Amino acid sequence: MSVRVRIAPSPTGSLHVGNVRSGLFNWLFARHHGGTFILRVDDTDLERCEERYLDEILDGFRWLGLDWDEGVGVGGPHGTYRQSDRFDRYAEVVDGLLASGAAYRCFCTPEELDERRNAAQREGRPPGYDGRCGLLDASEAGSRAASGERHSIRLRMPDEAIEFADLVRGDMAFAPETQDDFVIVRTSGAPTYHLASTVDDVDYEITHVARGEDLLSSTPKHIAIARAMGATPAIYAHLPLLFGPDGKKLSKRHGDTSLRAFREQGFLPEAMFNFMCLLGWSPGNDEEVISRDEAIARFDLDAVQKNSAVFDTKKLEWLNGEYIRALDPEDFIGRVLPELGDLTAEQEAAFRSLAPLVQERTKRLEEAAEQVQFLLVADDGFDYDEASWDKQMTKDFSRPSLDGALGVLEGVGEWDTDSIEAALRTWMEAEELSARKVLQPIRVALTGSAISPPLFESMDALGRESTLARIRRALDAMG
C-alpha cells in the first residue's frame, strides 16, 4: 500500500502550533514510507475564511520545510484541493446516500430537538437524536423537501459497534448507543465537517489519517460515512494533545500559540522542526537534538506516545540556542541583519565585530537584535533602563568610578579591545576598585542596561568618540 496522508487546515485564523505538529507528523510519516503528503484546505465556512490566513498557513509550512506533493499551490489530480470548490461533489455523495437509505432528511426544528433532549436527560436516557425522522417514508420526506420545508440530512448510524485499530491508542470500540444519527448537511444546505472531510479522504485515496486526539469522537462518524459510500475507511492515528507546562491544554493562557508568533520572536525553523518532532514522539536514546534526515529515518506513527505532550517554551528556547550557536557565523549574521533594519556601513561593521559574541549568548534572534541596539542609536538617543540605573548608578561609588574611568579612557592610545581592557584594569588595580564598582556603571552608561555583550568588545565596537560621549552623558544625568 502506497501511503497517502494529508493535512487540512481551515483558513479562519493564524496557523496554530497544534496543527503544525499534526502536519509535521503526517509529513514525516509520508517521507519515511516514500508516500504522498497532501495539503488541502477546509474552507467551507465561507464567511470566516480569509485568503490572508491561507497565505500565512502556506508560508508557515514552507518556512518549516514541510513541502507537499499534492494540494493548494502545487496542484495534482484532484482539482484545487479547496473544499469550497467541491460542493457539487458533496451533493452528489449525499444524493447517493439518500437513495441507498444510508441517510435521511430530518425536519425536526431546533426547538423540538431541545425539548426532546431535555426530556431524555430528565429521564436518564441518552440525550442524542432519537432517530424520529429516520422512520419517515422516503417518498414522503422527498415531497416535503421539494415543497420547500426546511430540513437537514442525517446519516443513519449502524446498530453494531464501530471498531478500529488506532495506531497510537490501540483497539477502539464505540457502542451503538453512544452514536446517534448525526447531521451531514445543515438546514442551510452546507455540508458539515464530517461529510466534507470524509468525502475528501475517500476521493483523495487517503490511507492514513493522523490528527489530534480531540477528534477521536468524530472517527466513528467518519468511518460510518466512508462505509456508506462503499469505501474502505482510512487507518487512524490520534495524536496526543499539546499541554502547557502547567498541565492544562495549550491555549491563549500560555501566550500566542500561532507559528507566526514564534517566527517573529526569532526561533529558527530548524529548531522549531526539531522541537515539534519531540511533542509526542522520541527518537530514542534520550536524544533531543535530531536532524531532519534522522527524524525521517526513525519516525513512524506507531511509535507516537499516548500521553499528552508538553509544549515547554523554555525547552524550545534552549534548543533554539543550540541551533543558533551551531550556525556558521555568516549565516547567523545574515539571519539577524533583517531584524536590525537599514544600517549604515559603519553600523553593520560594528555589529559584525560583536556578532560572534552575541551568537554565543543568544537563544532567540529577537534577543540578538536587542543586544546590539545600543550600536544603532545616537549617543543621546536611548533611554536608561530604570532598574539598571537604580542598581548601578545611584551608589556612592558610581560617580567617582565613572569619572575616573572617563579620564583613563581619554588617555588610551590605540583604541582596541585589548588596550581598553588593559588601561581600565591597571587603573582599577592601582585604585583597588572592584569590577562591580567600575565596569557595571560603564555598561549602563554605554548601553542603557546592565545586560549587554562583553563590555570591552562593546566599547571597541562603539568607538572612542561614542564611548566617551556616552559616559559624559551619564555623568550629566547623575547631576
Catalytic residue list: 252
Nearest residue to 376 (alpha-carbon basis) of 336, 418, 409, 415? 336
Spacing of C-alpha 247 from chain mean position: 18
pLDDT tens string 229-257: 999 999 999 999 999 988 888 887 777 89
Angle at 259 between CA 255 and CA 263, to 5 degrees: 95
pLDDT tens string 356-402: 999 999 999 999 999 999 999 999 999 999 999 999 999 999 999 99
User: Which H or E run includes 298?
Assistant: helix 292-298
pLDDT tens string 281-314: 999 888 899 999 999 999 999 999 999 999 999 9
Q: Return the domain boundaries, the chain.
A: 327-376, 378-479
> Contact, 160 vs 178, CB < 8 A?
no
Spacing of C-alpha 180 from chain mean position: 35
Share of the chain above pLDDT 70, in %: 100
CATH 1.10.3470.10 is held by the domain 378-479:
no
pTM over 0.85: yes
